[in-house]
């Protein structure tokens, strides 16, 4: 069964999780990775999450150092974190 990430519903995501990790899985490796990715992104973009403005200007190599979990995550985890979690937060931040 293929579950397309872009238009997956909540029930499809739950079914995917059950197929991959079983019905009794409470905390999965994906959960741990997502938590680590959120932590890394919050550290890189503190102003978006209500922290002080980050005065140092970084480049792409800084992201490799600052976000290793994000860059080594699966495509599914990257998509979920960036499009589903971070994108709405950034839209709200830019609009306000």
Q: What is the pLDDT along the chain (96 residues), one digit of tens a residue?
A: 555 666 677 777 777 778 777 888 788 888 899 999 999 999 888 888 888 776 665 555 677 788 999 999 988 889 889 988 999 999 999 998
Tokens of 51: 């922290």
Rounded to whole angstroms, the Cα distance separating 87 from 70 reads 15
Q: Note the pTM of the prediction, 2 decimals.
A: 0.73
Q: What is the DSSP string of 9-71?
A: -HHHHHHHHHHHH-TT-SS-HHHHHHHHHHHHHHHH-GGGGTS----S---HHHHHHH-HHHH
């Amino acid at each position: 069964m293929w579950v397309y990430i872009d238009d997956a519903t909540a029930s499809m995501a739950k079914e995917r999780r059950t197929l991959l990790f079983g019905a009794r899985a409470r905390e999965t490796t994906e959960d741990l990775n997502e938590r680590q990715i959120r932590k890394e992104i919050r550290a890189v973009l503190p102003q978006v999450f209500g922290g002080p403005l980050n005065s140092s200007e970084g480049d792409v190599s800084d992201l490799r150092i600052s976000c290793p979990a994000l860059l080594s995550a699966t495509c599914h985890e990257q998509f979920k974190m960036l499009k589903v979690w971070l994108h709405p937060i950034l839209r709200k931040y830019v609009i306000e």
